[in-house]
Structure formats: structure tokens, C-alpha cells
A and B are shown apart, each in its own frame.
Chain A
Amino acid sequence: MKYLSEYRDAHIARALAKEIRATATRTWTMMEVCGGQTHTIVKQGLDELTEGAVEMIHGPGCPVCVTPLEQIDRALDLAARPGVVLTSFGDMLRVPGSECDLFQIRARGGNVRIVYSPLDALELAQKNPDKEIVFFAVGFETTAPANAMAVWRARELGVKNFSVLVSHVTVPPAMLALLSAPDNRVQAFLAAGHVCTVMGFTEYEPIAATYHVPIIVTGFEPVDLLEGMLMAVKQLEAGDARVENQYVRAVRRDGNVPARSLVERVFELADRQWRGIGEIPLSGLALREEFLEYDAVTKFGLEGIRATEPAECRAGDVLRGQLKPVQCPAFGTVCTPEHPLGAPMVSSEGACAAYYNYGRFRAGAMAPATAGEARP
């Protein structure tokens, strides 16, 4: 409540929360699969505002967090090689690998560069023909069109010293994996609005029908999220299970057709490891055979790099919604944003970091001095 009062649409939000509580005859368990949504829910206390009517559990919605350890280790290996420049979005640099992170490799002389767009990495390759430029292509469906275009352009322009370390994941297979787990508690999903801006929402229709779960395509602002929760509660109370679009102002049923077409042209579905969760069949994207010369794993022979995740970090339970960040014994003690054990504490989209930064600690536990403030 304390945060919501600062929000400009606070009166609309309060009215929605009141309607959610009045509509629900029991507590319904919902999951969001979007780090931005997790951030809003925790920061604005939307879960506290709807307590008793809705229990929000936070799914694997942070692409940085689910990037498997071995893929981080491969990036570290590349960055340490002479003549190779590893380019990445900024949020990957602090994610711990088995031995260290990309910042540390850079401090030891490795060439690691933050780029804003994969096209910048391609331009870097064109301007530096004597160097191998590798782009760390992570993300959900929102960044896939950008990475597809970079590879497509590289081939069109005949750029040979450019490649991508692909770690793309897709949301619907993760939902299926969660729903088919024997300990599943999810009764409805809020689907990530911006993923649907690209992909549309036809993929979710068979999931809603087969598993009988409402799926609401939802934006990331507080009012969007509360509206999405209300739509889900109404369906659950009525025994419905449909895909509904709360985020009409940004999402069409078919998504962005040109972007989807190029993604399908360059990538194909592949089995993919999710950090803390394990392998989910056909849950990721890999380059098609005709683009394999741009695949960094093939080009640099990185297949042999494998990694085992540390047992101390229970990120997998957090990412599957089985454990709230505060219930992890390491949370806020041996695991903090300054010294993260796992990726959910690193990325601002991660559930652990959101809980830590907005001062969600166990009752009675000592809150660190930095808690309650958003980190820069």
C-alpha cells in the first residue's frame, strides 16, 4: 500500500483491488511469467493488496535468470580468447558463471563489450575484420526478431567474423512444463504483454483449453496487472478457461507478422536447458542448419563446455514458483545483489532481486540498510 499511494492511478488500482477481493470466493493461485511484471507486483505491493483473493507466484520470466550456467561458461571462455570480442546486453555481465562473471573476465583483460542492439555487434564486426565478434543472444521472444535480423544481415552482407551464442527461450513450453509437473499449483496465468506484441497469443489457446487454465495477456503497469488479475478471477469463479487480452492497446492476436516470419526463417525450435529448472523440450530457439556458420558453439567448438549448478542456490524452486525468494535460506544472507549466488538475485527482472530491493524480508529478519531502495 505504501508504494501504491505514490502511483498516479492509485484510485483506479484500489478500486480494481476491491473488485478482485469482492469477486473471489477463495484464494486463486496465479503466475506471471515476465520479469517486468514481477517487478511491478512486488514494488507496488499488488500481491498484498489482493491478499486472500489471489496468490501471485512468480514464474521463470527473467531471461537473464534462466540462461543456463554452461552457456554463461561458454561466454566466459569466448571472452578470454585472444582475438575474440564478446558483445552482450548489459544485464548479462554480472551473472555468475562457474568460476567468475563477465565483468571479472573483462577486468583480467578479456574483451567484453556492452551493446544496445545486435546490429551494433554486427557493425563492430564490419569495422574490425581482424577480430571475431560474438554476440550473446539471450532473451525471450521479444529479442528474437532482433537477433534473427542480425544473423540474416550478416549473411546478406557476407560478414564472416560475426557469430551468435544463442540462448533463446520461449514462454509457452515453460508454461506447459509447469502445468504438467505433479506439484503444479498454477490455476491461471498472466501472459507477458510484450512477448505477445511480437508473437500474438494463438499459441496459448491450446494450452488454456488442454489444461483448463485461464490465460490473460497482460501489460506491465499496476492497473494492467490488476485488470489482468480481475479477468482471471472472473473466469476462475465462472469455471472458464480462455485466453483473454487485457493489453489490447499493444497486442493483436497474430502479433507482429514480419518479425515472426524472420524469426521462423532463421531459427528453429530446439530443446533448451533452463537454469535451475533443467531441460524443457522444444523450449528454445537454435539457428537453422543453413545459418550454422554464424553459430558460436559450432564455430569455436564449445560443445564440450558443461557445468553443474551449485546446490546452495535454490533458484530453480524460485523460478518454478515452489519457493518464495524470502523462503530461501540463502536469501539476504549469503545471497545479495552484491554477491549473488544465482541469477534471480542479479537481474533487476529477477524475483529475488525484486524482493530484496523492495524490502521484502522474513518477519523478524534484519533488513540490510540498502533494502527498500531501487538500485540504480
Chain B
Amino acid sequence: MCLGIPGRIIELHHDGDLAMGTVDFGGVRRDVCLAYVQEEVGIGDYVIVHVGFAISKVDEAEAKRTFEALEEMSQLEELEFLKDAIPPGVIGQEARS
């Protein structure tokens, strides 16, 4: 959970006044909070994400390097958990994704 995972922003939206985006992590897509990113970010930009929060913007080359390094370290288990995690829904009425 300590190592941030790089991903690419593919969509921007708001949850109330909270800046959010959909981020693609090597094929796995997730809603990510963008409120903490100090740089301007838009669709196509890469960000380092910690447990659903983008912390910093990175360039594409650095994002790809870091993603590969995490893969080599087998440290992408957060993404495995992400696939296991049931999207928040009404308990008892939800379908497993």
C-alpha cells in the first residue's frame, strides 16, 4: 500500500466539489481523487496514485518505467485487490464484478 502506482487519466469528473478522474492502470480502470495533485492535469496525463488518490503528475516515460519496476517486483498486488474488491453498492443486492 506504500508504493504509488502510475496510471493514465482517461476521463475527468466531479463528485460534488471533489475533483475526480477515471485512471487506467495497465488495463484496470478506477475512479481516482485528483484533489491533491499540485500540477495541472488533464486527459492523457500520468499520475502516481496511492490508495485511490493521485499524489503527483509524472511524464509518460517515468510512468511506464515505474509500472514495469512494480511488475518486476510483483508489487502490483494492490491492483489484484482492486480486481477482488466489490464496487461499493447496496450490501446483499450487489453483483460481483
Contact = CB atoms under 8 A, between A and B. Distances in A.
Bind each other: yes
Contacts of B48: 194, 197, 250
B52 A146 contact: yes
B33 interface: yes
B11 to A, nearest CB: 17
B75 A348 contact: yes
Interface residues of B, number: 41
B1 to A, nearest CB: 5
A153 to B, nearest CB: 7
Contacts of B73: 36, 39-40, 43, 220
Contacts of A118: 51-52
Interface string B49-62: 01111011010001
A351 interface: no
A73 interface: no
Given A89-B51, A91-B1, A197-B48, A116 B72 contact: no
Nearest to B83: A116
B81 A114 contact: yes
A63 B2 contact: yes
Closest 8 CB pairs of A and B: A117-B52, A90-B81, A123-B88, A124-B88, A374-B74, A259-B36, A36-B3, A116-B82
Given A89-B51, A127-B89, A197-B4, 16 more contacts: A36-B3, A43-B73, A114-B84, A114-B85, A131-B91, A138-B1, A146-B53, A149-B33, A157-B16, A198-B55, A220-B69, A250-B48, A250-B58, A258-B38, A259-B53, A348-B77
